[in-house]
Amino acid sequence: MDKFLIKGGKPLHGTVAISGAKNSALPAMAASLLTDERVSLHNIPRVRDIITMAKLLAFMGASVMVDSFPGADYSIEAKTISHAEAPYDLVKTMRASILTLGPTLARIGVARVSLPGGCAIGARPVDLHLSALEKMGAEIVTAHGYIEARAPRGRLQGGHVKFEKITVTGTENILMAATLADGETVLENAAREPEITDLIGLLRKMGARISGDGTATLRIEGARKLTARITR
């Protein structure tokens, strides 16, 4: 097996630049689909999944600009979502692509996202996402390895969602979807990881009304529109 051999005895000194966390950056990038204004994200790590998410957002119609020097700063502007789809060729390389489902469905009322496992038969790891969206009024079918979702009358409805088991990406997906739903959404048994807190912070800067940080119960009051400006 691979291993590191470390010989100590020498004092350490100097500075190290620490990049942001991938698990926080990916949902933040997906959240840019919730608004037609520019979202600026700073200190994004330079890893393959981030590059894939940027390609996916660009495929969907967003303008994605990155300044890699001296730090990885992303500027994402989804004035329109021209392709409400996350194709298999991109999803197969990054399971976090499912995070585009909630914000796309909430923003334009339709979404088509490849299942991470293609046409795999049996229980799917995203079933918790789908059942939660159905509780918010979404009509969902799966065909040919794709999730095809539609919000009647173009908008999701606030609802009461209790996850059967804790899911980080499920919490993130429904949290984003709820920010543009009609009425209040209550999420019970929600994940409490640091990336959830980071996402809530970003959504608040976009104007979302969310309470319950750090607890297993989140309350989200839906808005007609989110912005990229700090409003509170």
**Residues annotated as catalytic (active site), given as ranges:** 119
Quote the crossing angle between the two packed helices 101-108 and 22-31, to the nearest 10°.
Answer: 10
Q: Are strands 73-77 and 85-86 parallel, antiparallel or unpaired?
A: unpaired
State phi, psi for 231 to the nearest 5 degrees. -110, -10
Q: Are 101 and 114 in contact (CB under 8 A)?
A: no
Distance in angstroms (rounded) separating the CA atoms of residues 119 and 142:
9
Distance in angstroms (rounded) separating the CA atoms of residues 43 and 197:
17
